[in-house]
Chain A
Amino acid sequence: MFNLVENEILKTIFKKRLLLILGILFVLIALFSYGEKYTIQKNKDQLTKRIGVSASYNWSKLSEQQIISIKGRLDNPYIPDSEKASLRVQIEQLQYDIDHGINPVSSSAGKFSSSFMEQAIFMFIPLLIIMLAADMMSGEASTGTIKLLLTRNVPRWKILVSKFLALLILEVIVLVFSIILSTLVSGLFFGYGGWREPVVAGFKVIGGKLDASNVRSVPQWQYTLMVYALAYFVAVVIGSISFMVSVLVKSTSASIGIMMSTLVGGTILSFFIADWKFTRYLFMVNLRLTDYLSGSVQPVAGINITFSVLVLSAWAVGAFIISFVRFTTQDILV
């Protein structure tokens, strides 16, 4: 089995598909970093223009004032309890920035790598994984090499499972490289620090409303790790579904097309019929797992991280079972 997985990995490498994906990743990260740098500079300029003094020199005073202001809010008995936990973490963040001489308006490699993945998790990473996974089986079928692969003294299910394992490994590689690349590239712009800064996490969605009562701070490195772990989970789910399509469809471009249109179409669909109960069971609307960490609002109300993870797992398992049954029984006619 190990040797079969090795074969699959080497094939993907020599096919340059992995290289292509990492290349796209690099270009995009570079563009994102530059964009972020530009936005920050623009914001600073605006602030400077407005206040009349250079904002960059006074950020610590500003932060101190913000802390006082938040403390004032905490003392206010008319603030709902659920907001207070979030306020306390904000104080902690500001205090950390002051103590460590970090301008809160600026970015860092740590901040960038997690915010990049928060943006990439529902569209960009799935697209890369589709490019990788949709070729796994249909790539062999469209070139006819599947005939030589399936006439070895190896049972079909082993071929399938080894391809699936190879895909799981390649997905780790993509995620590991995206964290490495985003750190290396954004570090050039923002410096390589920022991994110990506290970040707000721990939002819950209860009854369709955001509950911030359990909000607490985690260090940036841990937050980034969680974001990439969720992205990996999304990659595995999208990978499994693309893998299934790749088993069902003989042509690589057709299976990439099917997956991409499903992904984009489903996302659009969820905006139009957000109140339709069925949409919450679509995998595309459940991809923004990092929103549960950062507390952003979901397009479909009434779903939480457990729900999303369960729905996504069900899709992945279902897709694997369909691939398995179909692949082990199908007639190869190419």
Chain B
Amino acid sequence: MLKKIMWYGIVVIAFIGFITLSLGFYQALTISSGKAKTASKISLPNANGSLSASQKANQLNITIMGDSIARGAGDITGKGFTQYLPEDLKNKTSKDLSIEDVGIDGYRSVDILSQLQSGKLDNLLKNSDFILISIGGNDIRTIQSQSETNKDQSFKALQDKYLSDLKASINIIRKSSQVATIVFLGSYNPYLKTSSVEDTRIINLWNSNTDQLIESDPHAVFVPTYDLIKYNIDKYIALDGLHPNTEGYKAISSRIAEAIEGLVVSK
């Protein structure tokens, strides 16, 4: 009797299970292979064309490129430098300010290189007076999570790759615009509270090598952020523990504005 109950129980479970799983299988197939109904795509104006057309002599063009910091992650409005940089610069020039931000979250040095290689930014860069770059934070973060033993080894390899990508990127920018001022944001260490001496050494080495590379270009400036953030983490770092918050963006913006003040006035 028990056996019969067990058997019918199994038959019922198997039957219902089989039907349900078959439905699930069909869904899985249609969802990941079929032409799923896509949500209406947000249509965006082609910024490339519109910008080159609106190029005016009486305008100061700033292009911001690089990673999530360039893009404005962590800022309460999500706009980042595009919001705060004009505020700091508008008193210093009579020209109209035009800011274009092409930063993409998660970008590493190799990504801006391929972004530049695609040629999509050529028009934009040609018309730019200032090019603000923030890159490298995502590169260096990959070794910060590694164990101490192989950190040194992988750091060297990573840094070499990063520096060569960066050099190649600057070369491409220089093909579009010989005189635009490149403003490069240095890296800071958001994990200071959990960092070892080794981590600090690494990030300083990284910054100083980047600085050397940037300064080898006659129209480029390296703007450090490490010192700004070091004792102000609670004040300047967003809740995600990684990106600057609104205050942080404001502070970095004013630092950038100070660094390029003389140029803005003359341009």
Q: Indicate if A touches B (C-beta under 8 A).
A: yes
How big is chain A's contact interface, by range?
35 or more
| Chain A residues touching B, majority SS | helix
Q: Which residues of B contact A175 (CB under 8 A)?
A: 17, 21
Contacts A77-B45, A204-B32 given: A68-B38 contact, CB under 8 Å? no
Q: Does A52 contact B (CB under 8 A)?
A: yes
Q: Which residues of B contact A69 (CB under 8 A)?
A: 68, 71-75, 78, 105
B32-A293 in contact (CB<8A): yes
Contacts A84-B42, A176-B13 given: A72-B32 contact, CB under 8 Å? no
CB distance from B21 to the nearest CB of A (A): 4
Number of interface residues of B (CB under 8 A): 63
Q: Name the residue of chain A whose CB is nearest to the CB of B242.
A: A50
Q: Does B47 contact A (CB under 8 A)?
A: yes
Q: Does B77 contact A (CB under 8 A)?
A: yes
Q: Name the residue of chain A whose CB is nearest to the CB of B27.
A: A226
Q: Which residues of A contact B17 (CB under 8 A)?
A: 172-173, 175-176
A201-B102 in contact (CB<8A): no
B27-A50 in contact (CB<8A): no
A10-B7 in contact (CB<8A): yes
B41-A71 in contact (CB<8A): no
List chain A positions with a Cβ less than 8 A from chain B.
Answer: 6, 9-10, 13, 46-47, 49-52, 55, 58, 61-62, 65-66, 68-69, 71-79, 81, 84-85, 88, 168-169, 172-173, 175-176, 201-204, 213-214, 216, 218, 222, 225-230, 232-233, 289, 292-293, 304-306, 309
A-B contact list, 21 entries, CB within 8 Å: A10-B6, A77-B48, A78-B120, A169-B10, A169-B14, A172-B13, A172-B17, A175-B21, A176-B14, A203-B32, A204-B32, A214-B36, A216-B31, A216-B39, A225-B27, A226-B28, A228-B21, A229-B27, A292-B32, A304-B33, A306-B29
Given contacts A10-B7, A65-B74, A69-B105, list 9 more A-B pairs with CB under 8 A: A69-B73, A76-B102, A169-B14, A172-B14, A213-B38, A222-B24, A225-B27, A229-B20, A229-B23
